[in-house]
Amino acid sequence: MINAVIVDDESINISNLQSLLTRHCPLIKIVGTANSVDEACAVILKVNPDVVFLDIEMPQKNGFELLKYFKKPSFDIVFVTAYDFYGIQAIKFSALDYLLKPINIDELKTTVEKIELSITNKSHHRRLSNIVELLENKLPLDHKKIALPSQKETLFVPVQSILRCESSNNYTTFYLTDETVHVISKPIYEYEEMLKPFGFMRCHQSHLVNKRHVISILNEDSGYLILACTHQKIPISRQRKQYVKEALKE
């Protein structure tokens, strides 16, 4: 069994989620509920859950404040929110799960499956630490890290160590400055959204490139970006050529 705590300032939301978990996720056992961050801290310390389903937007203290009370949490977290823009980038950067209200049953089942894997791999500690660092915004750009989850482990790599990303159907391959390569089972458009604020540009349908590592444009065919260190040639699509030239000026 997976022991769970539900935290939400509205009791009706707690009842609804508890009902869904009971009917569709029999491995989950609800061992406590709370209506505020302070109440949640007391409940978590008392029942020591495996996972906390945590509402983000609550009065006085939001859900992210809870993370600051536990430096080395022994539990995983699933964020639950009606606001798909609120802190979602930090959540995705740390490979943490979240559910949008109203909760979709299939998404709930998938999330519970991920929780099982996370508990087995004990990977939640670093993911929670990473989101706290991102939310506090204390780290310089060069030190901010993104989580790259795979079946075996979750890697945390500095954003600026990523040379480029390459798409293959629903998989994204990351090429790093240390010459390591990591294949992640997520489509490239998800990473385009996350990495754009860090100077990444989509130069081709299949390629996302870190502008910091571009040293030149090769004028062959529709054009190629040449990357430092590896001197790899990354194609530029005809439709994106002007966009790429303008982006490199920024």
pLDDT tens for each residue of 6-23: 999 999 999 999 999 999
pLDDT at 71 over 80: no
Mean pLDDT of 208-233: 91
Question: How distant is the alpha carbon of residue 232 from its chain centre?
Answer: 28
Which pLDDT score, from 0 to 100, does residue 138 have? 61
Give the pLDDT of residue 29: 97
- Distances 112 to 7, 71, 238 between C-alpha atoms, Å: 16, 24, 43
| pLDDT value for 85 | 62
Non-local CB neighbours of 107 within 8 Å, separated by 6+ positions: 99, 100
Q: What number of other Cβ atoms are within 10 A of residue 208's Cβ?
A: 23
Mean pLDDT of the chain: 89
Kindly tell me the burial class for residue 235, based on how many C-beta atoms sit within 10 Å of its own C-beta (0-12, 13-18, 19 or more): middle
pLDDT on residue 95: 79
CATH superfamily of 2-135: Response regulator (3.40.50.2300)
DSSP characters over 166-204: EEETTEEEEEETTS-EEEESS-HHHHHHHHGGGTEEEEE
Per-residue model confidence (pLDDT) at position 120: 65
Confidence of residue 82 (pLDDT cuts 50, 70, 90): confident
pTM (predicted TM-score): 0.75
Instruction: Write 68-72 long-range contacts (CB < 8 A, 24+).
Output: 68/132, 69/37, 69/41, 70/44, 70/128, 72/125
* pLDDT mean over 185-204: 92
Answer with the residue of higher pLDDT: 199 or 125. 199
pLDDT at 31 over 90: yes
Does residue 208 surpass a pLDDT of 90?
A: yes
Q: Stretch 188-203: mean pLDDT, rounded?
A: 92
pLDDT of residue 143: 75
pLDDT band at 149 (very low <50, low <70, confident <90, very high): confident
Q: Residue 17: what pLDDT?
A: 97
Question: Over 60: is that where the pLDDT of 86 sits?
Answer: no
Tokens representing residue 209 in the block: 């490139």
pLDDT for residue 130: 79
Q: What is the largest CA-CA distance in the chain?
A: 65
Write out the CATH class of domain 140-249. mainly beta
Residue 139's pLDDT is what? Answer: 60
Domain boundaries, the chain: 2-135, 140-249
